[in-house]
Amino acid sequence: MILPSEETVSQELQNVSDNALITIPKLREQIAQRFGVTTACPKTTLSTLRKMMDSNSTLASRVVNGKGELITKDPYKQLGLMNTGRFEIDESGNKLKVKDFKKYLV
């Protein structure tokens, strides 16, 4: 298991275009493959992504959970960092979600 740093996560997210999204599980899988380990720590990955968004990282804003939901504690911050003109957001539930997110996945 790897505990991904901000640098590691940033490097992996540079492969995700502005018009695309990646899920946390897929990001973890790609990081693990890159380092030849079985998995990347889910807690550390999420914590690192949230820290990156607290620092206004547009790279980290491209990440959603496996259901297409925004992942920050303040989803409107992530929404502001995303170029929302590219993605339609569903605000009807408890959490903000990208509509039809699967068509945007890498």
Residue 14 lies in a domain: yes
Helix and strand numbers, DSSP H then E, in the chain? 4, 4
Domain region containing 50: 6-104
93 assigned to some structural domain: yes
The two three-digit tokens of residue 78, written as one number:
């992530």
pLDDT digits (tens, 9 = 90+) for 1-22: 999 999 999 999 999 998 899 9
C-alpha span between 97 and 42 (Å, rounded): 20
Residue 24 lies in a domain: yes
- CATH, residue 77: 1.10.10.10
Tell whether 87 is covered by a domain.
Answer: yes
Amino acid 84: pLDDT: 66
Q: What token pair was written down for 93?
A: 């539930």
Q: Domain total for the chain?
A: 1
60 within some domain: yes
pTM value surpassing 0.75 = yes
Q: Mapping DSSP to helix (H, G, I), strand (E, B) and coil, where does residue 8 land?
A: helix
User: Does residue 1 lie in a domain region?
Assistant: no
